[in-house]
Amino acid sequence: MKKIILIFALAFTCFGFAQEHFSGISTSRRIGILNGAINPAEFSNLSSRLEIGLFATSINASNNKVGFSDLLNSNNLNDLIFTGSDPVNMRIDAEIQGLGVAFKIQKWSFALFSKATAKLNLVGIDPNIGSAISNGFLSNPLSITTLNNTSNQRLLGTTWGEVNLSVARNVFENENNKWNVGATIKLLFPGSYTNLGANIVQGTLTNYPDGIYLNDASANINIAYSGNLANNFDNVNDYSKSLFGNLNGLATDFGINYQRKSSNGYKLNAGASIRNIGSMTFKGTGNSSTNYVLTIPQSPNLGLNLSDFEGDANLQDVENTLLDSGFLNKTERNNESISVKLPTVFNAYADIKVVSKFYVSIFGQKKLGSDNDNNQITSQDSFSLTPRLAFKNFELYSSWASNEISGITGGIGTRLFGFYMGSSSILTALTSDTKQADIYFGYRFGIF
């Protein structure tokens, strides 16, 4: 268990460098596959009749505890993460888009592109529990700490691949206005999945000479694992080895787009979309998803010694340790399949032409699911503002955002012909104690 929490804590530094992927370039005036991934109706606005995306990669990390200066000055990241009384939230996401193509035929537009996603999340972890397991001491200086958590604390890791088929149509256009609609069907290829959920944890943590004990406690526990993550949870390479599994899921995106046209482009490009409506199922003989009730009676029994989890490298080890303790009672089990919901979000944006070559983009994202659900892949609420200097073959922009987990961030990005790269947090990383780090880059080109 100590290793499991540690890998989440260290992953922030392993990836090195949130939540909105491709911030700034995804609302670019030069419209391509990235724009269509945010809103499929944008495929009707392709800047070229034939658009080809060669590759695109985005890596994001955000948390509510550790700042950029902490990474540079501290030798023990674990101590920093589990300090204070606020629950620990950390989100690490990687998104890789492969070869994609989009094209226009009269009023219709079509696209085919692939994507792989990997996520590692800590959701609402009590710092006292995290410190007791990972560091071997209580963050509370007192010898006894009372736990009274009403939410679901989760450790979540998952990978999956997608093949996206998009269609868009221009439904109305005149000299000044243009309306488009679009939809995407996503074929899902679940790779690996793991979830440890501890809901409504109540009890006491007490320091004893041989360790920290959880006593007079109760909780509802979910332990689920599938694929590579069932065998070894503390190896980051296992995430990259299982990005694509077998086809076993379906999701959809829907969007609408409006343009106020001008002689050389648009004065306003606005849209809204609902993305990732659907789910996927992890199947296999090695899968396990079990709901338990944890019940630890009051003294004279000392309870559960948290040092018993030391050396546990995966959730199956954690499950066996809890079962061996005698405090875990099974309520429901499903060995064959694990069904999880994609992170459904609502997006809305507007790209406004202020003066010639200067634009300002406003983008908002609202999650429609609850991160407390054990079968829900997580997402974040975010809002960003991006001023942009845009020429035909060159763009320079600076994205500033307010994120649910990391707060205020600011970065910079650029596009030169088909190559683009940027970060939505590099400026605040250099000037303040930001709690987010991210980087993205890619290449695309248009024909005709």
Both tokens assigned to 113: 């592109």
Residues near 209 by Cβ (< 8 Å), separated by ≥ 6? none
CB atoms within 10 A of CB 1: 24
CB atoms within 10 A of CB 394: 13
State the Rg of the chain over Cα: 23
The pTM for the full model equals 0.88
Q: Is the dihedral of CA 54, 62, 280, 233 positive or negative?
A: positive
| Three-class DSSP category at 99 | strand
DSSP lists the bridge partners of residue 402 as 383, 408
From first to last of its 448 residues, the chain has per-residue pLDDT tens of: 554 444 444 443 333 333 568 988 999 999 999 999 999 999 999 999 999 999 999 998 888 887 766 655 555 566 677 777 789 898 889 999 999 999 999 999 999 999 999 998 999 999 888 888 776 666 665 578 888 988 999 999 899 999 999 999 999 999 999 999 999 999 999 998 999 999 999 999 988 887 888 999 999 999 998 876 555 555 555 555 567 778 999 999 999 999 999 988 899 999 999 999 999 999 877 788 889 999 998 866 788 988 888 778 788 888 888 999 889 987 776 667 899 999 999 999 999 999 999 999 999 999 999 999 999 999 989 999 999 999 999 999 999 999 888 888 999 999 999 999 999 988 988 877 778 889 999 999 999 8
